[in-house]
Amino acid sequence: MPVTTDPVQQGAVPIEILANGIVASESVVTIRTRVDGQITQVHVTEGQMVRRGQPLFTLDSRLNQALLAQQEAQLMRDRALAARAEADAKRYQSLRGESFASQQRYEQAQADALAAAATVRATEAMIAQTKLQVEFATITAEIDGRLGAIPLRVGNFVRQAESTAITTLTQVDPILVQFAVPERWLAEVKAAMRHNTAHVRVRIEQDDGPPPEGELVFVDSAVDTTTGTILLKARFANGDLRLWPGQYVQVTLTPRAQENAITVAGPAVQTGQNGRFVFVLAPDNTARRREVTLVRVAGDRAVVTGDLKPGEKVIVDGAQRVTEGSRAVERNPAPQRVSAVR
């Protein structure tokens, strides 16, 4: 019986945990106004990438600017009154020492000086508040991210009390992928987090590029008792914007590599009445059945345990047509030759 074979291999094989995940932004900021006013300028467009501190909208702040000018003039007056009250207090202090002023008049002068100084501080506080109102009239980006839809345009009046969202700002670089794995993998995941050995890859549907690789950054504090799974999160660099918030991806978590693992070609493992087995092509060209236990599948190879030794030839194609002790001849496909085009 002609068959093809593949050697038994022994070595380190990564442990892979497969899961379905969803891409989620690490930070989503809802842009709202902090002052009342009419929108006079829109500096950005929908879907634009912006940097932290970049101006987004400008509101009409002429009323607050006029109020600021009035308060600054009032501050100049209050400072002048405070200086005169301070001078009077010093004057009455010297007159009190020479017995030309009463104690009551001296105490009154001191109180007037303290009250004038307090008035100056109160006016300075009002000016600081008004300056904040003027500053809030220019709405800037709080994070680096991508803008969403902008329903309000120039001319619309916005109020702080209404809490109407002007737009949203979504961080897309870096970005998170959240997924859940069965509870039985919790020990492996915790050990990988302690030793910083966990690697995460995601496969994007209809994306032929190399799978993005990220870092496991979060393990939930409790197992979900309804599903028997635990929530994990991985962070990915996303400068090319291949990952999009809300997108579904296939996640492969590799907590560590299993050392000295025995692997065979996946199609060589068969299932019988007594469990799984493989056929080994003995040196005398006879097929010998070996019972194995399938541990897991890693790519196109199966990690097994059983009476197998590295280098033994396991029958892959033709294994269904041989039986214990039947003779077989190895017909491994020869490498294809590529002829030069003339």
For 227-237, write each residue's pLDDT tens digit.
Answer: 999 999 999 99
Q: Can you name the CATH fold of 17-25+173-257?
A: Elongation Factor Tu (Ef-tu); domain 3 (2.40.30)
Q: What is the mean pLDDT of each run of 10 residues along the chain (342 residues)?
A: 88 87 93 92 93 94 93 93 87 68 74 91 94 93 92 90 88 94 91 88 88 92 92 93 93 86 88 88 88 84 87 87 86 51 38
CATH class of domain segment(s) 34-59+137-155+165-170: mainly beta
- Output the CATH code of domain 62-136: 1.10.287
Contact (Cβ atoms closer than 8 angstroms) between residue 24 and residue 300: no
Question: Is there a shared CATH topology between the 2-13+259-330 domain and the 34-59+137-155+165-170 domain?
Answer: no
Give pLDDT, residue 337.
46
Give pLDDT, residue 230.
94
Give pLDDT, residue 79.
92
Give pLDDT, residue 238.
92
Kindly report whether the global pTM for this prediction surpasses the value 0.85. no
Give pLDDT, residue 141.
93
Give pLDDT, residue 96.
67
- Output the CATH code of domain 2-13+259-330: 2.40.420.20
Annotated domain spans of the chain: 2-13+259-330, 17-25+173-257, 34-59+137-155+165-170, 62-136
Q: Give 128's Cβ-side CA count (13 Å radius).
A: 6
